[in-house]
Chain A
C-alpha cells in the first residue's frame, strides 16, 4: 500500500458570521484565495494535481453548483484539475482527505487538494429552502434534531454542569488567545483580500471572557438548559485546505511532509447525541492503526459545544495537555465545511512542531456521525 502524506496546510482567518470582516466576501472567493496560498506555500506544480475535493455543509447559493469546480477556476488551477464538492456536514473536508487517501492508494492520482469552506453569514444553517421529509419527521423526529438540543442531551446524559461547560469554554478561549499572542497561527493563515482591505487575524476570539461574564448568558436553546452562546462554537466564515499526496510524490518533488495518514474511520451514532460521534469513530480508527488511545500524543477534537467535547472526554479520557493545544472551535470558530481540513492540517503540523509521534483529529457530525483520522510523524 502506498503511504499517503499531508504535505501542506493553510486556512483563511476565521471570523464571526454577519459581523466579522469576511461577512461581505463570497465563500468561493475566500476558498480560492486559500487554495492559491496553499499552492504557493507548498510549491507544488498545480499540473500534477488530480482533483480539488472541497467540503461544504450547505452547498447552495454562493456555495452551490459544484462549487469545488468553480473555486478551482477562481484559483486559476489548470483546466485539467478536476473538482468535486463533498458533503458530510461538519466532517466534509476531513472526508475529502479520506477520499484522496483512498484514491492515492488505488493509484488513482498522486496529489489532491482537500479543502473546505463555509460562509455561515451568506448561507444560513439549513440552507435557504429547508424541506424535511414529513414521514421521516413523524416516525423519527431525531433525524432533524437541532444541534443545540443534542448538546443539551449530552449535558444531561453525562451530568455536565453549566459551570463545567463554562470552565472548559474559558480554557479554550485562553489557549486560543495565548496561541494568537504567540503568533502560532501566522504560518497557517492566508490573508484574505477584501474590498475593505486585507484580513489576516482570526476574529471570533473573546479574550475578555471570564467566569462571571459567561455565567450571565441566557440559555441559547432551552429555557431550562445549560448550553449558552458562550459554550457553543460561534457561527463562522472561513476556509481551510490541505495538500494530500503520496509519500513517493512528495519525495520526488521535494515537498514538505507534515505527517503520514495512518488510519481513518467514520461511524454513525444516535442523532440526538450526535456530539458523541468521535468516540466510536476514534475507536475504529485506533483499532485499524493497531494503537491504543494512550499512544496518541496530540488530539485535535473539534469543539462544537463544550458539553459535547466534555461528553467525548468522559467516554474517551484524553489528558488536557494533549488536547487542542493551540485552542479550539469554541474560541476560534467552526465554519462547518472547513473545520475537518483545519483540524487534520493542524494535527499534522503540530506533530512536526511538537516532535511527537501520533496525532488524532476527530469531530462530531450533525445527524449522528463521527469521523476520525490518525496521523503518524515521519522520522
Chain B
C-alpha cells in the first residue's frame, strides 16, 4: 500500500506542523479541527493554523507554496472526506475519552486499509484501543513526532499485536522515504523511549544543579558540549519546552511508572520552579524562564536566574577551563574531576546512562533504538550507549561500584556496547551476545564504509574511500569541513585514483554540515603578510582544482546536507550532479566577509542563469539575477529553495532521509557513468561595462536608502565587474578561464582593502558578518 493522501486531526502546534511536513513530502493533506462556538467560518481553527505556519520560525515549510497542499476543514463538516485518505494522524488533546470517540467515528468512515495513528506522547496504546473493535485495533498505531516535526528526525512507532504488519510497514516506509524520519520501534511503555530518558535526564539535571549550587550557565555548558549535546543543555531546553508543562509531565510520569522506577527518586518539583510558573516565567513563550532577554532601558541584556535566590542578573559566561583541560585527557579524567561542574556532569550523566541501560529491555528491542531516539529526538550527537563506549563501559561500572551505586545488568559484563567485527558494526544484545547491525535497503552510511577497510587516500583534512559498486567517496573531515589546501591536494590525487579504479566519485560526509566554506584563517595568514601573490595562488589553486573536478573523465556527484557555504557551495556548483538532502542550506556568502566567490562560484552560478531555457531574454537579466543572489549572500532554507535559486539544477535530486543520501548519490553517479562524457566548456556572452554601471547604480540607490553600507559599495562594485564580464563587449563572449581571471583579480583587489580585513577579522572572532 502506498500513502498518497493524509489527514491530520487537531490543528494545534504539533498537528499543524505535522501537516506542514507531510506537505513538504509533496503529499496532499487535510487538516481538521473542531468548530468553535459561534464561529462564522467553521474551519477557522485550521485556517488560522496554516497562516501561523507560514509565519513560524524555524519555518515548518520547506517552501511556502507547500501550504497549498494543506486543505483546512473541520471535524463536523469534513469527516466524510476522510474516506479518501490513506493515513489519519490524530493529534487532539491528550484525553482518552475524546480520542476514543473520534476513533469510533473514524473507524466507520475510513477505508478498511486506511491507517489511523495517534501522536500521543503520554497515553499508552493499550488504553487507546481498549473496548474498540478489532477492525480498529488492526489499523491503529502510535506515531509520535518530535517538535518541530520538519527538523526533528525521530518518529517513534508503537504498534500492538493486533496491528496489521502491512499497514505498519506502509507508515514506516512513508515516514522513512517521504518524510525523512528515522523510525524507531518502541514498546508500549510510558514516555516511549525519547521522553522516558530525556525527561529523566532533564529533571535530574535540574535537581543536581540546584543541589550543587551551580549557575544555569555552568550547568548548561558542563552538560552540553563535552557530550555532543545541544548547548541549550538542561535549562535552555526547559525554557524552550515551557516550564508550565513540567508539572503535567511529572504527574503523568509519576502516575504511569511503577514505584520501583528510578524516576520516583528524582523528587518533586523544586519550589523555585513552582514559583517561576506561578509568576508567569514559563520560558521563551512567556516572560522568560531560566534565561530571559531584558529589554528594559531600550537594550537587550541576556539575563539568567539565580537558582538559590530566584533573582535575575546579567548572564555570566562560565569559566570552565578546568573542565576543558580535563576533557583533553578524555572522558574519564573529566568525569573524575573535582570541579563542581564536573561533579554535576558525572552525577547527571551517570544516572541517565544507568537509567537508560536498566530500562533498555523494557522499552526497546535493542540499544540501537535508544541511541537513535536520543540522537534524533533530542539532537544528541551520540546516544547513551555510544557515550558509554566513549567513556569506557568498564571504567563506568567500576566508578558506579566505587560509589556504591547500582550497576545495571546490561553493563555488568563491562563489555563495550558496540564493536566492529569483520568490517561490520555489531551491537550488544540484552543477552550479552553481539549481533550485526543491519541497514534497510537503500540505506548506506559512510561510517559503515569506513569499517570495511582503510581509506584509498587520506590526509589531515580529507579522505577518499571505496564506497563499493565502483564508486569512490571523497570525505572532508577538517574543522567544520572547511576547505583548505590539503583538501585541494586530496581532490587532485583523487581525480587520478578514481580514473584508475572507479566508475564515479561521490563527494559526501556525515558531518552536521557539508562545509562551512573556505578556511578563512589560512587566508588571514596570507593577508597579514601582504602576500598578494600568495592570495592569488590560493585562488588559482582552488579554481584549477575545481575545474579539474568538473572536467574529470568520470561523473562527480555531490551529496550535501546542512550548510554548504562559500567555497563549499562552489565545489557543489562544479559537480555533474547533486543529490541533496532536503535540509540543504546552500549559498555564495562571500560578500559577508568582504570577498567575492573566487573558486569559480561566479562563473558557475552565472552559467546556470545564462543557460536557463526559460530565462527572460536579453543580456542583462542573467547578470542581474546572479548579482542579486550573490550580493545578498542568499542562502537556501531548504533543497527545494536551492532549486528555485538555481543553486541546484533541474536534474539534481532531493533525498528526504539523510540516511539514504549516500545510496541515492551512488545510484545517480552510476547512472551517469554509463557513456559518460565530460561537459563542454561554457561560453559567456556578457554585456561588459554597461551592466557594471547599471548594477552599481542599483547598489548606490540602496546605499542612499541606508540598505547598503559604505564598504558594500566597494565589494559589490568588484562583484559587478566580474559578473558583467569586466571590460568585454557583448559581441566578444568570454571563456571560462577569462571569467576565472576576473574572479581572481577582484578577489585580490578586495583582500588588499582594510574593509575586507575588518570583515574577515570580525567573522573569525564573532562568527557574525560585520556591516562596515
Identify the A interface with B (CB < 8 A). 128-134, 137, 144, 146, 148-149, 219-225
Contacts and interface: CB of A to CB of B under 8 A. Distances in A.
Contacts of A137: 693, 697
Given A134-B689, A144-B697, A223 B620 contact: no
Nearest to A220: B705
B280 interface: no
B620 A222 contact: no
Contact of A221 (B616, B617, B689, B701): B701
Contacts of B704: 149, 221-223, 225
Nearest to B616: A128
A281 B336 CA distance: 90
Nearest to A130: B694
A134 B726 CA distance: 12
A223 B697 contact: no
Contacts of B693: 132, 134, 137, 144
Interface in B602-631: 616-621
Contact of B705 (A130, A131, A144, A223): A223
A225 B707 CA distance: 13
A147 to B, nearest CB: 11
Given A129-B621, A144-B697, 8 more contacts: A128-B616, A129-B619, A130-B620, A131-B694, A132-B694, A133-B690, A134-B693, A221-B705
A223 B709 CA distance: 12
Contacts of A130: 620, 694
Nearest to A136: B693
A9 B343 CA distance: 89
A300 to B, nearest CB: 30
B706 interface: yes
B621 A134 contact: no
Contacts of B620: 128-131
Contacts, number: 49
A222 B618 CA distance: 30
A128 B692 contact: no
Interface string B686-711: 01011111100100010011110000
A134 B701 contact: no
A144 B694 CA distance: 9
Nearest to A126: B694
A146 B694 CA distance: 12
B690 A128 contact: no
A146 B618 contact: no
Nearest to B705: A223
Contact of A134 (B616, B692, B707): B692
Nearest to B691: A131
Given A149-B704, A221-B705, A223-B704, A132 B690 contact: yes
Interface residues of B, number: 19
Nearest to B687: A131
B706 A223 contact: yes
B692 to A, nearest CB: 7
A130 B704 CA distance: 21
A130 B689 CA distance: 12
Contacts of B690: 131-134
A128 B618 contact: yes
A134 B696 CA distance: 11
A307 to B, nearest CB: 16
Nearest to B707: A223
Contact of A132 (B619, B697, B706): B697
Contacts of A219: 705
Counting from the closest, the 6 A-B pairs by CB-CB distance are A223-B706, A129-B618, A134-B689, A129-B620, A131-B690, A222-B704
A113 to B, nearest CB: 30
Contacts of A222: 704-705
Contacts of A146: 697, 701
28 contacts: A128-B616, A128-B617, A128-B620, A129-B619, A129-B620, A130-B694, A131-B619, A131-B620, A131-B687, A131-B690, A131-B694, A132-B690, A132-B693, A134-B689, A134-B692, A137-B693, A137-B697, A144-B693, A148-B701, A149-B701, A149-B704, A219-B705, A222-B704, A222-B705, A223-B704, A223-B705, A223-B706, A224-B706
Nearest to B706: A223
Interface in B97-147: none
Contacts of A149: 701, 704
Contact of B621 (A128, A221, A223, A224): A128
Interface in B8-57: none
A148 B705 CA distance: 11
B723 to A, nearest CB: 14
Nearest to A148: B701
A224 B707 CA distance: 12
Interface in B662-718: 687, 689-694, 697, 701, 704-707
A137 B691 CA distance: 12
A16 B293 CA distance: 42
Most buried by A among B687, B689, B691, B704: B704
Nearest to A137: B693
Interface string B457-487: 0000000000000000000000000000000
A128 B691 CA distance: 12
A179 to B, nearest CB: 34
